[in-house]
Structure 1
Amino acid sequence: MTLLQNPKYTTAHLSTEERDALQTAMIAKARAAASEFHFNGGIPGSVMNTAAKAKRFRSLVDCWTTGTWVEDTNHYTMPHFQDPLYGSCDRRYKKSGGTSIRPAVRYTWKSECDMINVDSQRWCQVLRGRHLLLVGDLVQYQLHELFLDTLRDGPTVCFGELNCKDHTVCEGPETRLRYLRNDILSVIRKMDQNHGHPKANVIEWPFTLPSIMRAYPVVILNRAPVIESDEAFIKGLVETLRTIRKGNPKALILYRSTGIGHPFCDDATEPLAAALDDSQLRKLPHGWSEIERRNAIAREIVEAAGGVYIDLAKLTNLRPDGHIGGQDCLRYCIPGPLDSWAQILYQVFLGLDGHLDDF
């Protein structure tokens, strides 16, 4: 989603020390705001039923998202069956005469902790018929594509992110997947803005209706960066998680961190060797300069509410290559860097259901 710069809510004019101090202050404010959530320290909807287990597991999740991109032309490449938009890189590459592996697909994520290769049948066994609800922005819609590519053997009918209904992703027991676009995870119960239709800039399809909360015991969230204050971000996310917990106290809540876009992505040919430093982040357009702080705030709130924060942005922030390109330097082509998201999410579901040796 394209956002305009707004000096009122960006901090590019601050020094690195001032931005660090602001982040510390906002994390403390988020911690105070999230103190209303009362859990025994475990993760609802999982086998992590003690504070110690939850802490160990969250550390393991952080380890899976820490590592480096390495060139490996022999790694498994996930086929893409769904929205043809995300296959545009392959089409362009072949049209230009490319005959080998597309450059962005040559790299695989090497985590600091070992990971198990994705097994779609085992993933379905771990899901145990628990239906999945994905809520968030247009990038979150790509998770919808990844689940379908991983768990199904062919394409599905889906009329874009605003008209996407349930998909059966596993049989026996049946597991369904649904995506709803709500850029800011608002808790509105009906679309009463813009004469009952979503606005063009921020989409807010209702997703916290009691019937939806009961039907989907696994909720995967992401909140798009919008022009607002940190205080508004904190208030909004706390309200969202409060509403979800009220509708389904035992829901398994996963939250995907928000990544930056990469200006001039058409010129990129390989991963970055290291993450951008603060002086580079401050120069990013569209509010991306504030994302690192917002992610830190989100982690504090999500974990206080018993959810699991998964820093998938940490991986893709290093990948200026592999984007759809043109006017879209935020979303990625599939296959490509997002293959690693599926691999990490697979580890997360295995661990939360007690299928890893350490738990």
Structure 2
Amino acid sequence: MHAVCNYGKGKWVRDDNVPLYSGFDCKQWLAPGWACRTMPRTDFSYEMLRWQPKDCQLQRFNGDEFLKRMQGKTIAFVGDSLGGEQFQSLMCMITRGLERNDVLDVGSEHGRVVRNENGRPDGWAYRFTTTNTTVLHHWSACLCDLEPIVTEDPNQRHHYYMNTAYHWTRQKLIRNRWVMHVGGVRKTNETLRTLGEAKNFTIHSVVGWVNSQLQENPQLQAFYRSISPRHFSATPRYVGKEVVEAVSSDHVSRSAVRGTGVKLLDITSLSSVRDEGHISRYTLTAKPGVQDCLHWCLPGVPDTWNEILVAQIK
């Protein structure tokens, strides 16, 4: 019996065979805001790193083989903009950044055609007709019931990947014009402690609900992705530092999945040593003193999240 690989332990090593696609290409799937190759950045060494787990091998991703494995299946990313990045990353990885005529926009089948009041799409859904494989992203920043996360029969989904994190702040609640209820009572003066408790409650509740679906539908498989680290404070670069933690440093996510059939996609520690991989000050609307140290350049770190994900799906 083979031991289960801990993909969260390991180190980043240089590899001249990465990235898997070009940041100049993949215009069909990759949002301009994530494509750092098209920005005024000059150092792209962050693209040439591959994650090497300590005690096992992480197979190089092959898009054609992945589609064959996922024949007739639907893969659903549910979460915020970082989940959207992971979705776009996977689309670029599958296609190697090349436009393909065997991919259909099936957003209308999944309710992913309505835009919200900010003009942001609520998600995307595409089907690879050669293998009848559908990949979609459902925008749900907090995984709450602003609208049902899943309105269709869960049997129509085969793989769920969920995340939430950085919309649980007073600033985001005010900007999004959301209100929060605790115990059925509307909170008018939300505190960070209350928001933190609400976030933890939501993560545990959503994981619990998905776990109940797994029990009723054994063909389903679900992952909850641990928190993606931010690097807004001035810290040195740690590329090359070995990650040795045996368990995830995201205690909330680790606790939520414990004892359930939902697996933890643990990317926190391995991403924490990649501060140079963020978009940083090289945004399309760059302003002095403004940096994006939350989102990642693509190609980049989220590609590794997907490689670890693919290594664990059935």
When normalised by structure 1's length, the TM-score is 0.61
Q: Is the counterpart of residue 310 in structure 1 residue 265 in structure 2? A: yes
Cα deviation code 1:36-92 (max 9, x no counterpart): xxxxxxxxxxxxxxxxx8xx77x41x2x221111233x1221224111111134532
Cα deviation code 1:239-269 (max 9, x no counterpart): 213333455632211111102200157x976
C-alpha distance in structure 2 between counterparts of 1:71 and 1:180, whole Å:
34
1:244 to 190, 194, 210: 210
C-alpha distance in structure 2 between counterparts of 1:228 and 1:135, whole Å:
25
C-alpha distance in structure 1 between counterparts of 2:201 and 2:233, whole Å:
34
Say whether the 8 Å CA contact 1:272–1:319 is kept in structure 2.
Answer: no
Alignment of 1:41-52 (within 5 A): none
Alignment of 1:71-82 (within 5 A): 71-72=14-15, 74-79=16-21, 80=23, 81=26, 82=30
Say whether the 8 Å CA contact 1:161–1:179 is kept in structure 2.
Answer: no
C-alpha distance in structure 2 between counterparts of 1:264 and 1:244, whole Å:
35
Alignment match, 1:273: 241
Give the match's secondary structure for 1:92. coil
Alignment match, 2:36: 88
Q: Is the counterpart of residue 217 in structure 1 residue 153 in structure 2? A: no
* Displacement of 1:120: 1.0
Say whether the 8 Å CA contact 1:141–1:161 is kept in structure 2.
Answer: no
Q: How many residues align?
A: 252
1:259 to 217, 228, 237: 228
Give the match's secondary structure for 1:121. helix
Alignment of 1:273-312 (within 5 A): 273=241, 295-312=250-267
Give the match's secondary structure for 2:57. coil
1:180 to 138, 141, 164: 138
2:66 to 114, 117, 123: 123
Structure showing the higher strand proportion among its residues = 2
Cα deviation code 1:83-105 (max 9, x no counterpart): 11111345323xxxx5xx71211
C-alpha distance in structure 1 between counterparts of 2:270 and 2:120, whole Å:
24
* Displacement of 1:110: 1.7
Structure 1 segments (4+ residues) deviating >6 Å: 155-160, 267-270
Alignment of 1:2-151 (within 5 A): 59-60=4-5, 62=6, 64-72=7-15, 74-79=16-21, 80=23, 81=26, 82-93=30-41, 98=42, 102-112=44-54, 113-151=56-94
Say whether the 8 Å CA contact 2:124–2:136 is kept in structure 1.
Answer: yes
Identical columns (%): 17
Give the match's secondary structure for 1:165. strand
2:295 to 331, 339, 343: 331
Alignment match, 1:164: 123
When normalised by structure 2's length, the TM-score is 0.69
Question: What 5-or-longer segments of structure 2 have no aligned partner?
Answer: 106-112, 169-191, 282-290
* Displacement of 1:221: 0.6
* CA distance 1:335–1:150, change in 2 (3 Å): same
Aligned partner letter, 1:329: C
* Displacement of 1:215: 2.0
Question: What 5-or-longer segments of structure 1 have no aligned partner?
Answer: 1-52, 192-204, 278-291, 354-359
Alignment match, 2:182: none
Say whether the 8 Å CA contact 2:223–2:264 is kept in structure 1.
Answer: yes
* CA distance 1:346–1:245, change in 2 (3 Å): closer
Give the match's secondary structure for 1:304. coil
Alignment RMSD (CA, Å): 3.1
Give the match's secondary structure for 1:314. helix
C-alpha distance in structure 1 between counterparts of 2:294 and 2:47, whole Å:
17
